[in-house]
Amino acid sequence: MNAMLPAVLEGGQASTAEAVLFWILAPVMVIASFGLLFVRKAVHAALSLILVMICLAFIYVAQGAVFLGVVQVVVYTGAIMMLFLFVLMLVGVGSADSLVETIRGQRWIAWLAGLGLAVVLVGVVGTALYDEPVGLESANADTNPIGIARVIFGEHVFAMEVVGALLVTAALGALVYTHRPRLTPKVGQRELADARVRSGQHLAPLPAPGVYARHNAMDVPALDPQGRPIESSVPRVLRVRGQEADAAEYAARIERVIAGHEADPPDALTTSPDEPADDAAQPQEAK
């Protein structure tokens, strides 16, 4: 990077190395910007924006704004964009989300806002192209951080105040948006216990799954004293998926064991009817 600075310090003209770096990073930034607009997944859009920010930080450092380049990486790429990715992972935004307008006319508002942004960009680019460059020696006369502070809090203090108020308003709006009024009262353990008492059903905890004399898996229903399976002992998710095992076979085998028609194997606690017993429980062949 130091090889790029002398020409900029003297006459404000970019050196060859700086021009090569710009023409390498600029197409990457443009492609990533188009990816931000046209990719289908929100996570890919966030990664495209991270790539744009990293390339922009390289350009800042190449032009001598080292402090601004470090802030670009640490604050924007390392903090804000990582926060975006964490929110996307927690909330989950897929390409199957509805694209129907929830507010009438919002597309026209977006087009007008984009047109205004294009006008601002044209003005900024025109100012940068036709103004006389002053060079880094004049821009960083009192070091780069002090020069940035003088521009932000001296020449553009009103714009900074407006941006600060906008950020505070956005934060408060996000809090209000996430804390919606409840449609139903909050249900806790006390409310669940009161509902069970009023209904008169399942006052005690639900029975645990598994026939402990034969099988202790979660998909095997427990048996009542009459040997009938208790459906509520199996988790509801397994019942909905159809992964509940048939307890009739276990009940029939237990009845045969109780009647004395079948011996109870030593490893009954861990062996299912469809699984062979261990070698220690099987009779050895005669030698």
CATH number, domain at 21?
Answer: 1.20.120.1200
> Which one has a higher pLDDT value, 200 or 101?
200
Do residues 235 and 144 share a domain? no
Per the prediction, the chain carries an average pLDDT of 73
Helix (H, G, I), strand (E, B) or coil at 166: helix
Do residues 148 and 224 share a domain? no
104 inside domain: no
User: Quick one: what percent of the chain has pLDDT higher than 90?
Assistant: 5
Q: Could you tell me which residues come within 8 angstroms of residue 75 by beta carbon, excluding any fewer than 6 positions away? A: none
69 inside domain: yes
pLDDT of residue 239: 74
The last residue of one of the domains, among 111, 129, 153, is: 153
Banded pLDDT at 115 (limits 50, 70, 90)? very high
224 inside domain: yes
Do residues 30 and 149 share a domain? yes
Q: How many domains does the chain have?
A: 2
7 inside domain: yes
Residue 31 has pLDDT above 90, yes or no: yes
Rg for the chain, CA atoms, rounded: 35
Q: What type of residue sits at position 181?
A: P
Nearest to 1 by CA among 148, 131, 136, 134: 136
Express each pLDDT in 46-88 by its tens digit.
888 889 999 999 988 888 788 888 888 888 888 777 777 777 7
Highest mean pLDDT: which of 165-169, 182-186, 201-205?
165-169
Do residues 38 and 147 share a domain? yes
Would you report the helix, strand and coil content of the chain in percent, each value rounded to 5? Answer: 60, 0, 35
pLDDT of residue 1: 45
User: Quick one: what percent of the chain has pLDDT higher than 70?
Assistant: 68
- Both tokens of 58, joined, read 């390289």
195 inside domain: no
Query: Is the pTM for the entire model greater than 0.85?
Result: no
Helix (H) or strand (E) holding 144: helix 144-150
Express each pLDDT in 228-266 by its tens digit.
777 777 777 777 777 777 666 666 666 766 676 555 544
Residue ranges making up the domain that contains 83: 1-93+140-153
pLDDT of residue 81: 78
148 inside domain: yes
Do residues 146 and 242 share a domain? no
Q: Output phi, psi for 279, to 5 deg.
A: -65, -30
Do residues 81 and 216 share a domain? no
Do residues 38 and 144 share a domain? yes
Q: Output phi, psi for 48, to 5 deg.
A: -65, -40
Do residues 56 and 148 share a domain? yes
39 inside domain: yes
Integer angstrom CA distances of residue 11 from 60, 79, 135: 18, 36, 6
